[in-house]
Each structure stands twice: as structure tokens, then as C-alpha cells.
Amino acid sequence: MDDVGYGDYGSYGAPDVRTPHIDRLAREGVKFTDFYAAPTCTPTRAALITGRYQQRVALEYPIGSPPGGGRGLTANGRSLAQLLKNNGYATGLMGKWHLGYRPEQHPNAHGFDSFFGFLSGLVDYYHHTDQNGNGDLYENATPVQVEGYMTDLITERSMKFIEDHAGQPFFLEVAYNAAHWPFQVPDTPSRAPGNARFVQPHEDGTSTRADYVAMLERADQGVGRILDTLQKRGLSGNTLVIFTNDNGGEWLSRNAPLYHRKDTLWEGGIRVPLIMKWPERIAPGRTTPQVGIVMDLTATILAATNTPVPAGARLDGMDLLPLLDARTPLERTLFFRITATRQQRAVRQGDWKLLIDAGDVLLFNLRADIGERTEVAKEHPEIARRLRGLLTAWEQDVDAEGKGQAATN
């Protein structure tokens, strides 16, 4: 999902959204409470496709709509889809890409056999145009015109991909744009205002929480149709289904009990739901506090499919499946940074999180204070000092690599 809040699903506490199919995944699989993405969409997608911190490929902030320059993720033969394709998997992406517009940056160049969707960060749900009013709907590399609500089109193409490849191993990324703005509800065809601009809360006649809920519930219905397709083809038992978001929610979202929203390094911007279901491997109905990050999904998928990983891939993530059987969670050290729209840096190690917000150095114990309301640097300066050192070393590491990639991208 796209721009959906941590607390926007029934299984994560939403009181006003009906998400029975996503909640069914949680009942039939394992739900993570402490999983992280990047604070915005392009960085998270880059981390998933590469299995590495987005800073290593110089994609720390979102790519603009065309003509937004040539910035993007250039194929190098080591993407998630390419490695799976090399291992005999049919590969498909239905929905949002947002990793570049040049041919060498397209989904097909990264190993996706089939792509149906849009290249930019958002699209008019009915007219399939970007923020400049230009058509942004593709079948592989070919622009197409197809009638329909974008969420439903993504669902239908995902179902078709499963039907077409049910007799062979396959990998399918379903990248809904729901509930990203423009906040266009299903079954009410209209053009988004101002070429799909971001409608703000203070504007007259602005969008409502009810609009947002309707968008999200239609996407949940799509999840149900995809799960039913797997069931109908007898594939449910041995299919690993992963459900997550690309970042925290926007102003119409419910991020509770977290603080703040998308495009920040407060928990509301980076902590997201994660549900994994695999009946032949994962016991149902479990909740885990194991800390994870989006690059772990890359490593998990590659491990689950016994896909060879070349040394040059240098994954930053780790396979989550063995951790599900551990008696106690494995302590992780994870890093985050924004340097475009605002200046924030953060590191989480165990229960501790150091957040540098502009010039303020803040320390929180997330196990005791999930809402980041009680700052405790004065009680634990030694922890702040240690975490600051780790953050500095990480920045030096990723930036040394990212500077070289910036010219390529």
C-alpha cells in the first residue's frame, strides 16, 4: 500500500476502516509490530529492489514527475526481480514503479517480465495522468489507455498474472497507489483537481477521512480477490504472501499510536505494518516484536526461493524467516536519513532510538515510549554518544558509495 498509516488496518487497531482481507492475512500469518520502511516512496522501493540502503544508490528522496531529469535506479543485473528471473521465476510488477523514466531504469530492465502500471509517484485514479497532466499508464514500455479505477486495474492485472503463471514459480509485486493522493473515491469518476495535486486540510471543500477510507477499503477488496485467486489455483499453501506499506501515512491517515507522519523520521513516518503468510512455513495467528526493515524482505524472498545471490549484491538486509522461530527477538541496528525536504537522521538499536532533528539530539526508549513523547538524553548521555558514533560511521559508509552512484543515476 502507499501512504497508509500504521494504525489504518483493523489488525493494527483501526476503529473506522473495514479491512477484512488484510486482517485475514494477520490471522493466518505473522504480524510484525516493529517493522520499518524509508520515510517516502522512492527510497523504500529502491531499498526493496536492491536489498540495500537507498543512500547507496543515491535515491534518498522521491523522484519528481517527468520531465524530472534522469534520476532513477539504473539496472545492474542484481535487482530482486532479475535474480529471481535468473532462478527460473516468472516476474511481474502491477502498479507503481517510481524508480526512473529512462529505458534502462524501467521495470523490464530490472528483470520484470511483465509490467502494468505507472512510472511516476502518483496518478489520477480515473484518467491515469501524472501531475503534469500527461498520460502515465504502461504495458511494459508501451503507453496504453485502459478504462477503469486504478486500484481495480492493478487488482485485475495481478489476478491475471497469477492465472497465467500458476503452473510455474512466480514472483509478483502488487504496488497499489491507494491510498496516496489524489484522494479520489471509487465509483465516482472525476478528474483530480489541479492535475492530481496534493489537496491540503485547510482548503475549502478538502478531502475527508471518509474519502480516504473508501479508497483503502477498495484496495482491501483487491487483496481479497488476489488471495482468492491463489486459493482457487491451489497455490495458497506454498505461496509466501507479504503485505506492507512504503512509508507512514499522510494527513488523512491514522498513524496511532505513533507520532507524526510521512516524510519524517519520527515513528509515524517510518514504522509500517508488515504481515507475512506462508502456511507451509509460518505458524498462523502470531505477533512478533522482531525489528525489521524493508531490505530484509529482499533477503527473505531470495532465501525462501533458494535464489543464488552474487557477492556484488552486498545485501544490507537479512532473512526474517529464521527469526520467527527464535525465543527472543534478535537485536537490530537500523539507520535512517532525510536531507532534502528537512534535515533528520536517526538510528535504532534494540529499544533505543536516537533522532537528530535539525540541530536537536533526541533519545527515546521505544519499548517504553512508542509515541516518542518522553525524551531521555539527559538520563542516558552515554547511549546518545554511542548511537551518534554509529550513525556517523554509517553515513560515511553509505555516502562513499552513493557519491559514485549519483553520476550513474
Q: What are phi and psi of 193, to 5 degrees?
A: -65, 140
Alpha-carbon 83 to chain mean position: 20
Catalytic residue at 127?
Answer: no
How far apart (Å, rounded) are the C-alpha atoms in residues 5 and 340?
22
Catalytic residue among 21, 98, 110, 165, which?
98
Rg (the chain; Cα; Å): 20
251, 3 contact by CB (below 8 A): no
Active site residue 98: yes
Q: HEC profile for the chain?
A: CCCCCCCCCHHHCCCCCCCHHHHHHHHHCEEEEEEECCCCHHHHHHHHHHCCCHHHHCCCCCCCCCCCCCCCCCCCCCCHHHHHHHCCCEEEEEEECCCCCCHHHCCHHHCCCEEEEECCCCCCCCCCECCCCCECCEECCEECCCCCCHHHHHHHHHHHHHHHCCCCCEEEEEECCCCCCCCCCCCCCCCCCCCCCCCCCCCCCCCCHHHHHHHHHHHHHHHHHHHHHHHHCCCCCCCCEEEECCCCCCCCCCCCCCCCCCCCCCHHHHEEEEEEECCCCCCCCEEECCCEEHHHHHHHHHHHCCCCCCHHHCCCCCCCHHHHHCCCCCCCEEEEEECCCCCEEEEEECCEEEEEECCEEEEEECCCCCCCCCCCCCCCHHHHHHHHHHHHHHHHHHHHHHHHHHHHC
From 21, 41, 127, 180, the catalytic residue? 41
* Cα 65 → chain centroid: 19
| Catalytic residue ranges | 41, 98
